[in-house]
Structure 1
Amino acid sequence: METRLVPYETLTAAQQQQLSALEVHPEQLPWCGDIYCALNSLLVNPSPGIKGFALLADEIPVAFLLLKRPPCLPHWADEHSATLHALQVDHRHQGLGLGKACLQALPIAARLVWPQIKALELSVDSANVTAMGLYLHAGWVDRGEAYKSTTAYERRLALALG
C-alpha cells in the first residue's frame, strides 16, 4: 500500500466525498472528534492559520488531521510551532500503521506550508494510552501538562523540526 500525506485543497471532488465518509470508533470520538467537525473548522471560516491534510492510501483518503498556527494556535502552544489536532484514521483501516504514516510524513508537510516553524506540538489526554504510545514511539517528547480537561490532564508533546 502506497501512502502520502496531501493538503486537503489538493484532493479531487471524489476524494473529498470519500473523506467525508471517514469514521472513527465511537470510543475515539471524545479524543479526536469526527470528520464533520474537523472539516467544519477547516472550511466554514477559512484562515491561513489552519490547514487540513489527508492521508491517501493508494489514492483513497483513509486519515485526516489539522494543523494550526496563529491566529488559531492554542494558548498552551509555543508561537514558533504548529499544533496537531483531530488526527483521525478511518476505523476500517486502523491497525495498518496509518497513524504512524501520518506522523512520519507530517514534519515535511508542515514545513512546506509554514517553513518558519521550529516544532510541532499537540495535547493528548493522559488516559488515551494508545495515542500517547503512538506519539512517543514516533519521537514526540512529553513537555508536561498543557491543561486540565474534563476527565484528566492533557499532556503537551512536542517534536522539534531540524
Structure 2
Amino acid sequence: MIRLEKMTASTRPLAEALEVDPAQLRFVGTMDEILAITGGPIVPVLVWHQADRANIAKAEANNGEKLVGFFLLDKEYDREHDFAKTTDLGFRAFLIDVHHQGKGLGKAVMQALPQFVKARYPQFERLVLTVNLKNTPARVLYLKNGFIDTENQYLGGSAGPQHILYLPLG
C-alpha cells in the first residue's frame, strides 16, 4: 500500500537519504538539488510503502512503512511554463529510490496521486508535467496511468526536449 504525505522538517532527513538511480540523474537531479528548490509554492511529497507481513518486523519503527520515493507539486507551475494554465498543478522530480525500483511502486503512486491532489488542492483542474523524450519508461508509466500527451514539446529542459503531459483531475 502507498501513502503520500507532505515532507516536514522532521522527515526531511529521510528524504535526503533517498538515492536516485545514476541513469536517472540527468532527468531528475540529485536529492540535494531537488530539495534546494522546495518551499513556498513548491511542495515536497514523500512516498511511503507499507511492508508486506513478512517484512513488518523489520520496519516496526515506522508501523511497517518504508520511505520509497519522492516528488514535488508546484502550485505556480504556470509562472515558469507558458504552456501551463493557472489552474494547473505541476508534477516534478518524481523518483522511486534506486533500491525499490521494479516493484510496481511507480504505478501505485500514479494510482494514489489523483485522490491525494484533489483532497489537498481542489482549486487545480489538471496535473501537468514534462518528461524527457529520452525517458521512455517514465513516459510509458504516465500514459498507462491516465496522463494525456499534448503532442507538444517543452524545449527548456536541462537534459533536452520534453513531452508535455497532463492528467485531468475533475
Smaller-chain TM-score range? Answer: 0.7 to 0.9
**Alignment match of 1:122 (pick from 129, 132, 142):** 129
Secondary structure at the counterpart of residue 78 of structure 1: coil
Distance, in Å, in 1 between the alignment partners of 2:79 and 2:117 is 14
- Rate the CA distance shift 1:50–1:150 in 2: closer, same or farther, 3 A: closer
Matched, 1:16 2:12: yes
Structure 1 position 158, deviation (Å): 0.6
Q: CA deviation at 1:114?
A: 1.6
Of all paired residues, the percent bearing the same amino acid is 32
Could you say what secondary structure the match of 2:84 adopts? coil
Secondary structure (helix, strand or coil) at the match of 2:134 reads coil
Once residues 121 and 76 of structure 2 are traced to their aligned partners in structure 1, the CA distance between those partners, rounded to angstroms, is 11
1:54 aligned onto 2:53? no
Letter in 2 for 1:137: K
Q: What SS class does the counterpart of residue 65 from structure 1 fall into? A: strand
Extract unaligned runs of 5+ from structure 2. 51-64
Identify if the C-alpha distance between structure 1 residues 71 and 119 changes in structure 2 by more than 3 Å, giving closer, same or farther: closer
1:19–1:62: 8 Å Cα contact kept in structure 2?
A: no
How far 1:51 sits from its partner (Å)? 1.0
Kindly state the Cα deviation for residue 127 of structure 1 after the two structures are TM-superposed.
Answer: 1.3
1:16 deviation in Å? 3.2
**Pairwise CA distance, 1:6:** 1.1
**Given the two structures, how large is their TM-score scaled by the length of structure 1?**
0.86
The one-letter amino acid paired with 2:14 is Q
Q: CA deviation at 1:4?
A: 0.8
1:133 aligns with 2:140: yes
Among residues 137, 142, 153, which one is paired with 2:161 in the alignment?
A: 153
Distance change (3 Å), C-alpha of 1:115 and 1:127: same
Aligned counterpart, 2:75: 69
State whether structure 2 residue 23 is matched by structure 1 residue 27. yes
Shift of 1:39: 1.5
Output the CA distance in 2 between the equivalents of 1:33 and 1:133: 20
Secondary structure of 2:27's partner? helix
* Distance in 1 of aligned mates of 2:133 and 2:78: 23
Q: Distance in 1 between matches of 2:95 and 2:79?
A: 19
